[in-house]
C-alpha cells in the first residue's frame, strides 16, 4: 500500500527503508524538495545528508509535505517535535479520515543537553496533535526507542522486548498493530486512548539516562508481569 512519511531525518528514513523492503510504496515529505534532494552535509550525529542517502534508495519518492499527505491513507509523523503541530495543522483538511502514526517526542533543547520535555504530566504532544487534527486517527507509537530498534526489533540479541501504542480509534489501532507486527514486533502493549501519550513521552528522560549508562542507543525495555499478555 501507499504509506507517507513526514520528516527526512533518521526516523523518517529508517521507516521509509523498512516499509519499502516490506513491499509498500513510500512517499517521504520535506519542507523543500530541491534543498533536501541536493543536500550533502552530514548531520551532527554523523548521519549522511538526505541527498547522499537517497542515492542508494531510488525507490523512495521525495515529495512536498502536501504531496505526501495527499498520497496515502496512512501517514507517519517523523517531524521534529517542536514544529509538529505547526506543520500538521497546515494539512488538517487533507488528513481527515486518515491514520497518523505519531513518532515525535516533545524534546526541548533550548537549555542544552539533556533535553527536557516542552509538554508533560497533564498533556502531551500526542494529545496536542490529536486536538489539532480532530478528524484524524492519531496513533502514538515507536517513540520509546531509537530508530534502528523501531524498525528492526530483532536486532537486539537478548529476546523479546516491548513496544507501546495508544490512540482513540480501535480500527485504526488494529491497522497500526498489523503494521508493527510486520516489522517483527511480538510484544505489543496497547495502553488505551491518546492520553497514554503522556507516559510514553515521559519515558524519554529515563531513555536518555539508560543511553548514557550503556553508551549505545541500541536497547529497549521489556514489561514483565504475572498476567498472561494479550497476544496480537
Ligand X SMILES: NC(=O)c1ccc[n+]([C@@H]2O[C@H](COP(=O)([O-])OP(=O)(O)OC[C@H]3O[C@@H](n4cnc5c(N)ncnc54)[C@H](OP(=O)(O)O)[C@@H]3O)[C@@H](O)[C@H]2O)c1
Neighbours of 180 (CB within 10 A): 21
Decide if 127 contacts 197 (C-beta within 8 A).
Answer: yes
Size, binding site for ligand X by CB under 6 A: 22
Using CB under 6 A as the binding rule, whether residue 80 contacts ligand X is answered as yes
**Which residue number, 81 or 167, has a Cβ lying nearer to ligand X?**
81
Using CB under 6 A as the binding rule, whether residue 220 contacts ligand X is answered as no
**Which residue number, 108 or 170, has a Cβ lying nearer to ligand X?**
108
- Residues 99-128 contacting ligand X, CB under 6 A: 103-105, 107
Using CB under 6 A as the binding rule, whether residue 10 contacts ligand X is answered as yes
Using CB under 6 A as the binding rule, whether residue 146 contacts ligand X is answered as yes
Angle (nearest 5°) at CA 198 between 195 and 199: 115
Using CB under 6 A as the binding rule, whether residue 4 contacts ligand X is answered as no
- Cβ of residue 82: shortest distance to ligand X, in angstroms? 7
* Nearest alpha carbon to residue 145 among 73, 232, 220, 227: 220
- Cβ of residue 104: shortest distance to ligand X, in angstroms? 3
Contacts of 155 (CB under 8 A, 6+ apart): 148, 149, 218
- Residues 31-50 contacting ligand X, CB under 6 A: 31-32, 36
- Cβ of residue 29: shortest distance to ligand X, in angstroms? 7
**Which residue number, 142 or 187, has a Cβ lying nearer to ligand X?**
142
- Residues 150-209 contacting ligand X, CB under 6 A: none
Neighbours of 221 (CB within 10 A): 15
Q: Alpha-carbon dihedral of residues 164, 182, 155, 210, nearest 10 degrees?
A: -10
Select from 1, 21, 73, 83 the one that contacts ligand X (CB under 6 A): 83
Helix (H) or strand (E) holding 76: strand 74-77
2: left (phi over 0), alpha (psi -120 to 50) or beta: beta
Using CB under 6 A as the binding rule, whether residue 79 contacts ligand X is answered as yes
Decide if 92 contacts 117 (C-beta within 8 A).
Answer: no
Select from 16, 26, 69, 78 the one that contacts ligand X (CB under 6 A): 78
Helix (H) or strand (E) holding 29: strand 25-30
Using CB under 6 A as the binding rule, whether residue 8 contacts ligand X is answered as yes
- Which residue ranges make up the site for ligand X (CB under 6 A)? 7-12, 30-32, 36, 78-81, 83, 103-105, 107, 143, 146-147
Amino acid at each position: 500500500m501507499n504509506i507517507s512519511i513526514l520528516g527526512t531525518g533518521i526516523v523518517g528514513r529508517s521507516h521509509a527503508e523498512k516499509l519499502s523492503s516490506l513491499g509498500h510504496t513510500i512517499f517521504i515529505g520535506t519542507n523543500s524538495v530541491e534543498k533536501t534532494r541536493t543536500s550533502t552535509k552530514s548531520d551532527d550525529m554523523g548521519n549522511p545528508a538526505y541527498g547522499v542517502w537517497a542515492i542508494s534508495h531510488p525507490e523512495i519518492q521525495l515529495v512536498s509535505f502536501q504531496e505526501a499527505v495527499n498520497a496515502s491513507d496512512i501517514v507517519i509523523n517523523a517531524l521534529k517535535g517542536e514544529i509538529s503541530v505547526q506543520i500538521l495543522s497546515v494539512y488538517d483538511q487533507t488528513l481527515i479520515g486518515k491514520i497518523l502514526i505519531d513518532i515525535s517526542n516533545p524534546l526541548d533543547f533550548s537549555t542544552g543537553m539533556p533535553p527536557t520535555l516542552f509538554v508533560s504530566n497533564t498533556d502531551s504532544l500526542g494529545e496536542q496533535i490529536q486536538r489539532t487534527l480532530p478528524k484524524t486517527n492519531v496513533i502514538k507509537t515507536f517513540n520509546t526507542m531509537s530508530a534502528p530498534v523501531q524498525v528492526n526489533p530483532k536486532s537486539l540479541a537478548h529476546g523479546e522486548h516491548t513496544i507501546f501504542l495508544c490512540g482513540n480509534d480501535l480500527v485504526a489501532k488494529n491497522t497500526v498493530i498489523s503494521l508493527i507486527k510486520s516489522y517483527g514486533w511480538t510484544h505489543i502493549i496497547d495502553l488505551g486512548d491518546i492520553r497514554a501519550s503522556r507516559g510514553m513521552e515521559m519515558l524519554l528522560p529515563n531513555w536518555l539516562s539508560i543511553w548514557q549508562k550503556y553508551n549505545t542507543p541500541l536497547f529497549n525495555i521489556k514489561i514483565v508481569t504475572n498476567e498472561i499478555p494479550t497476544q496480537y
